């Protein structure tokens, strides 16, 4: 099995320096307790609003509770927006549309359990990472598939344009990969016996297996990944501001407590 390298991102010294300078020249009329200097310097698609693009069918990172989108990413985005003195607005769309929405100024950032990859970095910036993920393989409980090698020649379901899609296509061939718009649609096809396996991130995998009878997760970690917010290459100020907010939210334990709230120890 091919080894997939984890993409390690580090906050560049340049960004840190820019941020510090920003703080130094912070305008003193700003009294909001949580607001940082970033507030005075970032421009967003809609003034005063941080618009987040996501695909809200990815529990526990983003999912619907009634008509509200909740989950890890929604809470982290809210915390970032609070730090920047902005109101948060969440736009739900196909996962495949998120990067384009951010590139074309329909949203300020994508937060969608999105993995940092070399390929995506060609077109979009990523913030510092805030969580890790693992690509998991789900099969039916009574399936004879036990290992990654057993997937050869089987029908594998994935969510369109996700890393699961990219890796499965690379490793098992496009002919063996069925793409679905939502992870849940792939799971449905699996339960109906239309496909043999689903490759998807581990936390949604646990959630789907929990809410659907007769499924199990292979005892193997297909690929390890890091999640980050994607932000347009044209908005470096927002990237710096989001990284600054993330650093503070990591330091004060907010990110960890949000993760702990939604991710139950196995």
Query: Footprint of ligand ARG on this chain (CB under 6 A)?
Result: 54-55, 57-58, 61-62, 95, 112-115, 133, 159, 162-163, 201, 225
CB 9 within 8 A of CB 116: yes
Q: Which is nearer to ligand ARG, 84 or 230 (CB)?
A: 230
Q: Which is nearer to ligand ARG, 22 or 110 (CB)?
A: 110
Question: What does the alpha-carbon distance between residue 229 and residue 197 come to, in Å, rounded to a whole number?
Answer: 28
- Tell me the CA distances in angstroms from 240 to 34, 54, 95, 149, 156, one per residue in order: 17, 21, 24, 42, 39
Q: Which is nearer to ligand ARG, 39 or 62 (CB)?
A: 62
Structure tokens, 142: 């009574």
Q: Which secondary-structure segment (H or E) carries 173?
A: none
Q: Which is nearer to ligand ARG, 41 or 232 (CB)?
A: 232
Structure tokens, 206: 């646990």
Question: What does the alpha-carbon distance between residue 206 and residue 263 come to, in Å, rounded to a whole number?
Answer: 10
Residue 167 beta carbon to ligand ARG: minimum distance, rounded to whole angstroms: 9
- Tell me the CA distances in angstroms from 265 to 22, 60, 142, 208, 209, one per residue in order: 39, 13, 26, 16, 15
Residue 258 beta carbon to ligand ARG: minimum distance, rounded to whole angstroms: 16
Residue 182 beta carbon to ligand ARG: minimum distance, rounded to whole angstroms: 7
Residue 4 beta carbon to ligand ARG: minimum distance, rounded to whole angstroms: 13
Structure tokens, 87: 């109101």
Q: Which is nearer to ligand ARG, 162 or 254 (CB)?
A: 162
């Amino acid at each position: 099995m091919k080894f997939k390298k984890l993409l390690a991102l580090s906050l560049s010294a340049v960004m840190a320096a820019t941020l510090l300078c920003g703080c130094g020249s912070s305008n003193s009329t700003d009294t909001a307790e949580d607001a940082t200097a970033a507030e005075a310097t970032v421009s967003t698609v809609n003034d005063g609003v941080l618009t987040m693009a996501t695909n809200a069918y990815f529990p526990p990172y983003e999912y619907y509770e009634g008509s509200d989108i909740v989950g890890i990413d929604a809470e982290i985005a809210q915390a970032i927006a609070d730090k920047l003195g902005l109101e948060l607005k969440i736009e739900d769309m196909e996962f495949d549309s998120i990067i384009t929405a951010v590139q074309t100024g329909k949203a300020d950032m994508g937060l969608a359990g999105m993995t940092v990859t070399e390929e995506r970095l060609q077109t979009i910036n990523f913030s510092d990472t805030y969580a890790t993920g693992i690509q998991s393989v789900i099969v039916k409980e009574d399936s004879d598939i036990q290992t990654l090698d057993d997937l050869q020649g089987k029908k594998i379901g994935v969510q369109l344009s996700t890393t699961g899609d990219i890796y499965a296509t690379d490793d098992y061939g496009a002919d063996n990969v069925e793409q679905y718009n939502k992870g849940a649609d792939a799971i449905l096809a699996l339960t109906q016996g239309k496909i043999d396996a689903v490759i998807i991130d581990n936390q949604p995998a646990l959630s789907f297996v929990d809410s659907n009878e007769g499924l199990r997760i292979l005892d193997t970690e297909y690929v390890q990944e890091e999640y980050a917010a994607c932000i347009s290459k044209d908005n470096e100020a927002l990237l710096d501001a989001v990284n600054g907010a993330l650093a503070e939210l990591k330091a004060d334990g907010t990110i960890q407590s949000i993760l702990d709230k939604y991710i139950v120890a196995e």
